[in-house]
Amino acid sequence: MITRFAPAPTGLLHLGHVVNAICVWGLARAMDGRVLLRIEDHDRQRSRPEYERALLDDLDWLGVAPDLYPTSAFRAGRCESRQSDRLAVYESNARGLIARGLVYACGCSRREIAQLADPSTDGEHPYPGTCRDRGLPLDGDVAWRVRIDDGRESFDDLWCGPQTQEPAGQCGDVVIRDRHGQWTYQFVAAVDDYLQGVDFVIRGRDLQGSTGRQIRLARLLGRERPARFAHHPLVMQSATQKLSKSDGATGIRDLRARGWTRDAVIAEAARRVGLIAPAATLSIDGVPALFRDQPPRTTFSNPTPVHR
């Protein structure tokens, strides 16, 4: 089993990342799997090298060591698990989709898409396919969209149970390259998980809604067996708002500066999502046992891989 820890260097690590690290390394160790580190800096506007250096330092401090692409591989310079060093990979995979007639140019602005949306539905609005047959050239100020046909994607979320999503109705044709020429998260995540051999994706529940379209994209790219998925609970700022990187109160840097030990940070993160009881303590070495001895479900629908 290969899973991945894939932070974006757009801010400093906070307790939400620590929860993800606990689940990724804990499940990997409990399942004899390996953890791959990937730096998701596909967003060139928001990513910063200083954030990457800070997150590598914080991972070392937390004592979570990637089995594939250790932090030293990123510090050494160019690294094939850093997305900005993989642009040729995205280009060639997009070219493959284009050659099969699956990609078209979309000239709609964000505002035009919003106006087409049905205001009676909350949340995500599916793109209605306005530019599907316009035949716009794939250059200049246009987004690249992949045709998403009707059909369901089902997966057994190891944490949340069986799920079914319908990408065409949920989001419509997926943007893989935005109008500024940047590869999108949905595309690079699908490409990287496939080509890097990631077969178990462990991430926060805020990304659960993206799973169906990523399974579909991966299949279009040639992936025969989809990855498995587990979506863990999120650290919340309040009942309805998730933590943001600007929330200094839970930033690892700030906690360290205030004298928190590594194990105190690990325990606080685990406590915030109910992985341990409010009064319990936890050390980094105790993390795999959380998943080996008492899988946090109650929650796991299919505990088999955990209880080998």
Binding site for Zn ion (CB under 5 A): 106, 108, 130-131
Q: Which is nearer to Zn ion, 130 or 302 (CB)?
A: 130
Q: Which is nearer to Zn ion, 70 or 107 (CB)?
A: 107
In the complex, the smallest distance separating the C-beta of residue 108 from Zn ion, rounded to whole angstroms, is 3
Q: Which is nearer to Zn ion, 65 or 136 (CB)?
A: 136
Distance between CA 107 and CA 280 in Å, rounded? Answer: 54
In the complex, the smallest distance separating the C-beta of residue 125 from Zn ion, rounded to whole angstroms, is 13
Q: Which residues contact 191 (CB under 8 A, 6 or more apart)?
A: 89, 90, 93, 221
Query: Which token pair is 280?
Result: 């319990």
Distance between CA 210 and CA 173 in Å, rounded? Answer: 13
Q: Which is nearer to Zn ion, 130 or 301 (CB)?
A: 130
The SS3 call for residue 146 is: strand
Q: Which is nearer to Zn ion, 108 or 275 (CB)?
A: 108
In the complex, the smallest distance separating the C-beta of residue 172 from Zn ion, rounded to whole angstroms, is 10
Q: Which residues contact 300 (CB under 8 A, 6 or more apart)?
A: 158, 159, 306
Query: Which token pair is 193?
Result: 């998980």
**Residue type (1 letter), 124:** E
Residue in 190, 196, 197 with CA at minimum distance from that of residue 215: 190
* Residues shown for the chain: 308
Query: Which token pair is 130?
Result: 């306005």
In the complex, the smallest distance separating the C-beta of residue 148 from Zn ion, rounded to whole angstroms, is 14
In the complex, the smallest distance separating the C-beta of residue 141 from Zn ion, rounded to whole angstroms, is 12
